[in-house]
Each structure stands twice: as structure tokens, then as C-alpha cells.
Structure 1
Amino acid sequence: MRPGIIDRYILRYFLGTYFLVLILILLIAIVFDISEKIEDFITRGATPREIIFDYYLNFIVYYGNMFTSMIVFISTIFFTSMLTNRTEIVAILTGGMSFRRLMVPYFIGTATIALLSMALAHYIIPISNVRRLHFENLYINQNTGERYSDIHRQIKPGHLIYLENYNPDRKSGYRFTYEVFDGQKLLSKLSSDFIRYDTLTGTWRLDNYTIRVIGTDGDKLVIGRQKDTLLEFKPDELSPSLYSVTMMNTPRLLEFIRAERIRGSEKVNMYLIELHQRTAWPFATVILVLIAVSISSQKRRGGMGFNIALGLALCVTYIFFQRVSVVFSTNGNLSPLAALWLPNLLFAIIGAFLYRIAPK
């Protein structure tokens, strides 16, 4: 049999099995999601059009892409095990094709899926997340009234703000200070017991405020009860969250991270994790396919069931390492780049070992 025919045969089954498994898993996920949230949809007045086009259409894109690596892994094990049980792999190898050459159609299909997944993660999904997350916030999630404490930000070089407590829903906070420095020298300090943002005028209202200006000929002190003023920051800059970050495409996210570093945000690692996982997770598809073909291309006593069980065990292990490394990055000193790529590096080594011992 000519290599071109074999390539098309494997590639057709590879992509066909992937899309079949993807559709089945997403259908199951949608059924469970509907059963869990149907009461929210009804009681909060979501229309069928909003449910289908604003939520579930974007739900499919988001979760389908998130689990693409795992779905490719499972589908590769399934269909390669079928080829092995029908002795088709043996026939191809004994016909003169090397195992390395046999991997070519697998990696053509994998590269196609991985590149599509990266494009979706970097540019398309952030746009689709706008409608999905808005729907969730409107009809599903309860308003938690989340508060933030001890917020320190550098608005621009030499301009530092502090809030003891901030409520992003009300756009208000307590114990506010705004300090302006020239190097190590304090030039002015604004203090206020309470601060609230006026969305109509775009100004901040200060209650019980004090303004201290330090000059060469002495300090100038201004005390007042209430003042409306323009300040060089917006409410979203005080408490940006992953909710908003997931709605930014990669160029916008890079700009946002640079700005947050200047402000001294303590959440930069979380934003970097969101950035790096958009590439690391799709790239894992290539590694997992190498592992899947290596372990399912030989007949075992347990048959296809053993290969699938082994594949699921490796899949769970990979997810476990991903979660552990992300926790170390969020709460420890591990860089986000290392947190997202160390599991890929570890499983690449495992994949190379399994490929080496696979039947040739």
C-alpha cells in the first residue's frame, strides 16, 4: 500500500474520531449544564435566543477548546487501539513503513488542531467570552458583593494610591490615600475617609478629605468635607479580575499586564498564567498524541480497555501536575512560564521514552 493512501486513511480516521468524541462530550456537558441551570434560566427570565446564541454557542467554543488536548488524547488511543486490534498497525509496519513514518499523519492532524486551538485561545475565545460571561453574570451567578482589602497601586511613576477597603460593585472604598513622589521625596498627599466613583461625570467624590502639599517654604494643608475631583485612574484599574482578563485578546492582554506591572498589582502572576496557558495547553496536544500512539500501537492482554484506562490515568496525572504547578506559581515563587511548561516538559520526556520502547 502506498504511503499517501495510508496517510489519508489514518488522517481521516484521526480527525473523524476526534470530532466524534468532541461532539459526544460536549453534548453530555450541555445536557448536565442545562439540568443544573434550567431553574436559573426560567426564574431570571432568560430568553431561548439568549440561552442558545449568547450562552451555549459560546459555551461550546470555550469548553471545546479548553479540553481539546484531552479529547485528542482519548480519541487517538481509542482509534489507534482499534487499528492495533485489527492488526492494521502490524500490516503497515511489516509492509515496510517505519514507525516514525507512521507518525506523520498523526502529527499533521495534531498540528492542524493545535494551531486552530491556539488561534481560538489567543483571538477568538476572548471575544466570545464577552457574551458568555455577561450571560452568566446576568442569569446564573449571584451577586457576591466581593470586597478587596489593602489595595496598593502605582498609577504612573511616582504616583501611588492605597485603599484599605474597596467594593467594585459600588465603586467605592474607605481610607483612601494618593501620594506623589519625586524620587524618594514626598511632594503631596491626598487622604479621604470615603471615596466613590460617579459614572455620570467620570469624577471621584471624596468625603472628609485632607490635601497636604509639601513645598520649599513650608507645608500647605487643605481640609474639607466633600470634594468632586478627577483622578488618574478608573474603578476597573483598582480590582481587575480574571473575569475581565479572559475577555482580552492576547495583544490587549500584553498591554494590560505591562500596565499592571507598573501599578504594582499583586495579581500579575494570575494574568501571566492566563497568557501562557493559551499556548501551553494547545501545544500539549502534540505531546499527548505522541504518548497515545506509543501506548496503543501494541496489543496487550487487556485489549483496548487497558489502553484506554492507561491513557485516562496519564491524562489525570497530567491535569494534576498542571494544577499543582499553577498553585505553586499563584502562591509561591514559581514563575508562570515554568508553571505552564514544566508539565509539558515532563510529559514530553515520558512521551519520548514510550516512543522509544514502542514496537517498531
Structure 2
Amino acid sequence: MKKLDLYIIRKFLGTFFYAIALLAVIIIIFDISEKIDDFLERKPPLEAIIFQYYANFIPYFINLFSALFTFIAVIFFTSKLAANTEIVAILNSGVSFRRMLRPYLISSLFLALMSFGLTNFVIPETSKNMQEFQKKYLKSQRKANMNNIHMQISPGVFAYVESFDMKNKSGYRFSLEGYHEGGMDYKLSSDYLRWDSITGMWKIENWVKRQIQESGEIITRGQQFDTLLNLRPEDFAVDVDDAIYMNYRELRDFIDAEKMRGSGNLMKFQIEKHKRIAFPFATIVLTLIGVSLSSRKVRGGIGFNLGVGITICFAFILFMQVTTVFATFGNLPPVVAVWIPNFIFGLLGIYLLRVAPK
């Protein structure tokens, strides 16, 4: 049985990594053709292009397509086994269908753990290296200005800025409000604020402060003062794409901080956190479906099985996108939105296993 297990594992993983390698080459060729003008203009060293950019670029795309190519690999090589009557021979030798699934599950578990490690630990680090290269040699795509930003920077303290310029690290029409259980304590309004990177303080200019006390309201004004706030310029430019630079622990801590601030992007970050566990698990679900579909010898051969399998795989991806939209813009909890495709297609996989030829 060890020979059979090793045979299936070698076929499974060999097909997967061969397909992923071909995909990586194709992606790199298209990316080079897209960025060739920037490379010629900025003239980055060849070593930086290879080792700082593309060496860190490949893990992200390998992980992005890992579930799809796991499914395709299972469909492809299992269909070949069925077409060559190898599965019939395996079952006729006394090996049960359930026992034959063991090397498939071992391989899919290995790929799921690989995807989990890439998503939560490797890709955040490689993405930081790639970002440094992009900042230095490629044109930045990051927004320079943000508008109408409102957040809670500490319990009971809310900050608002009408417009913030990331390039100059300055904001316009800034206000800071403090509350307690009885209502508002104070409100600070200013026309302009600017970050001082040397002192780590904010310069508040042309300000008015209203302090509400039991004896009445006290209004003070001034031209400029420096202050410490639980706020940095990067906090005004929070984007869900920034999650790629965080490992799982950093993302979890970031979500806790964003909950306190009342971030409008909180739901998207929560979806990203749950995806980092659910997406690797999808590898196992799709493997079960793939084995069930392709273990039967059909008249259409490998092409028919691949067509049906790819249709199911894209249906899975589409369903995950739909449930994600419901979580982002509706009331569906993020954990349900991310895991419900695995649950439904897992039931489909169990049904297909029951009706598969044994």
C-alpha cells in the first residue's frame, strides 16, 4: 500500500507544482510586458528585479491560484488513471475506495498547510519587500488624498478631518471631540494640522477649543500648538489591500484597534482574517469533489471531466464572492460568509463520494 500511496501522492503533487510553475512563468511574462516602460525609465538593477521583486512576487500568485490548480491537478491525473483503467485495477485488488482516498487527503492537507503558511506568514513578509521595490522603482498607485475621515482614536475621543494629504502629511478642517457618559466634554476645531516626523507630534494651527463644564462653556483660541495624539498619518490611509502586509497576529490586533476606532473598512478586514483559514480548507473540499468526479471512466475522457470540474470550481469561487458581498454590504456575519461555500460544497463532495463507483 505504501507504493500505491507514494504513486498517487507523487502524481498529485507533481501535476500541481508543474501546473503552478507554468502559470508562474506566464504571469511573470505578462507582468514584465506591463512594467517594461517603468523598468527602462527607472533602471532598477537586474538583481533587484529578480530577487527583490519577482522572487517575492511569485509566492502571492502561487497561493492565489493554489485551490484552483489543486482541483485541476486532481481532475487531470485521476482522469488519466481512470482512462487507463488503473482505478479499476486498484479497486479489484481489494483496496477500498475509502482507502484509496488516503493519499489524496494527505496531499491536499499538505497543500492546505502550505497555503495557510504562505498566506499568514510568508506572503506578508515578501509583500513588504516587494512594496519597497515598487516605491523605489515603480510608479506608486496609492491615493494621495483622503476625504471626510471620521474615527475613534481612543475610548470616548473622536477625530474628524475633511481632507488629508498623505504626501505632505497634513490635513484640513480638523476636529477632535471628547465624550463621557453625560455628554460632550470638549471640542477642538482647527483649519490645519500637520505631522512632525521628528518630534512625533501634531501641529494644530488656527484652532478653537470649547470646554463644557457645569459652570458653563469656556472658549479658547490660538494660532498654533503641538500635541500628542493616538494617531499617525498612516491611519488616515487605511486600505483593505494593506492586510496583505500583516501576518495573522498583526491582522487580528489591527482589527481590534479598528473596532475601537469605528473604521468603515472593518468588515473587509474581518472577511480577510477568516479567509486566511477558510481558503486553505477549500483545498481539501475541492480535492474530494475532484476525486469523486474523475474516478469514473467516461466516454468524454479527460476533457469532459476537466470541463465539469472547472465549472464546479468557478461556481465555488463565484459563490464565495457573492457571500462576501452580502457580508460587506448586508448583515451576513463574516465568518458565515467565508465558511458557507466550504460547507455547501463539502456536502456536495460527500454526496459525490457516496455515488462514486467503488
Pairwise TM-score range, normalised by the shorter structure: over 0.9
Residues 163-172 or 349-358, more deviating? 163-172
Aligned counterparts of 1:332 and 1:167: Cα–Cα separation in 2: 31
Out of 169, 184, 199, which is 2:182 matched to? 184
Residues 169-178 or 120-129, more deviating? 169-178
Match of 1:162 in 2: 160
Q: SS in structure 2 opposite 1:246?
A: helix
Match of 1:259 in 2: 257
Aligned counterparts of 1:338 and 1:137: Cα–Cα separation in 2: 37
Aligned counterparts, 1:306-345, within 5 A: 306-345=304-343
RMSD in angstroms over aligned alpha carbons?
Answer: 1.6
Aligned counterparts, 1:89-100, within 5 A: 89-100=87-98
Give the CA deviation at 1:261: 0.3
- Name the aligned partner's letter for residue 344 of structure 2: L
Aligned counterparts of 1:332 and 1:197: Cα–Cα separation in 2: 37
8 Å Cα contact 2:173-2:191 kept in structure 1: yes
The reply to whether residue 27 of structure 1 matches residue 25 of structure 2 is: yes
Aligned counterparts, 1:276-287, within 5 A: 276-287=274-285
Quote the sequence identity (%): 44
Out of 201, 219, 224, which is 1:203 matched to? 201
- Name the aligned partner's letter for residue 179 of structure 2: F
Residues 318-327 or 276-285, more deviating? 318-327
User: Does the C-alpha gap of structure 1 residues 69 and 266 become closer, same or farther in structure 2, counting only changes over 3 Å?
Assistant: same
Aligned counterparts of 2:16 and 2:254: Cα–Cα separation in 1: 35
For normalisation by structure 2, the TM-score amounts to: 0.95
User: Does the C-alpha gap of structure 1 residues 144 and 65 become closer, same or farther in structure 2, counting only changes over 3 Å?
Assistant: closer
Give the CA deviation at 1:118: 0.7
Give the CA deviation at 1:199: 1.6
Give the CA deviation at 1:144: 5.3
The reply to whether residue 83 of structure 1 matches residue 81 of structure 2 is: yes
Aligned counterparts of 1:150 and 1:172: Cα–Cα separation in 2: 14
8 Å Cα contact 1:145-1:167 kept in structure 2: no
Q: What stretches of structure 1 move > 6 A for 4+ residues in a row?
A: none
User: Does the C-alpha gap of structure 1 residues 116 and 144 become closer, same or farther in structure 2, counting only changes over 3 Å?
Assistant: closer
Give the CA deviation at 1:4: 2.0
The reply to whether residue 132 of structure 1 matches residue 119 of structure 2 is: no
Aligned counterparts of 1:358 and 1:277: Cα–Cα separation in 2: 30
For normalisation by structure 1, the TM-score amounts to: 0.95
- Name the aligned partner's letter for residue 105 of structure 2: F
8 Å Cα contact 1:133-1:243 kept in structure 2: no
User: Does the C-alpha gap of structure 1 residues 266 and 191 become closer, same or farther in structure 2, counting only changes over 3 Å?
Assistant: same
CA deviations 1:163-218 (Å, max 9, x no partner) are: 22223333222221111112132211110122221222222122221012222333
Aligned counterparts of 1:50 and 1:280: Cα–Cα separation in 2: 34
8 Å Cα contact 1:273-1:326 kept in structure 2: yes
Aligned counterparts of 2:354 and 2:56: Cα–Cα separation in 1: 41
8 Å Cα contact 1:153-1:238 kept in structure 2: no
Aligned counterparts of 1:309 and 1:84: Cα–Cα separation in 2: 16
Name stretches of at least 5 consecutive residues in structure 1 with no aligned partner: none
Out of 33, 39, 42, which is 1:41 matched to? 39
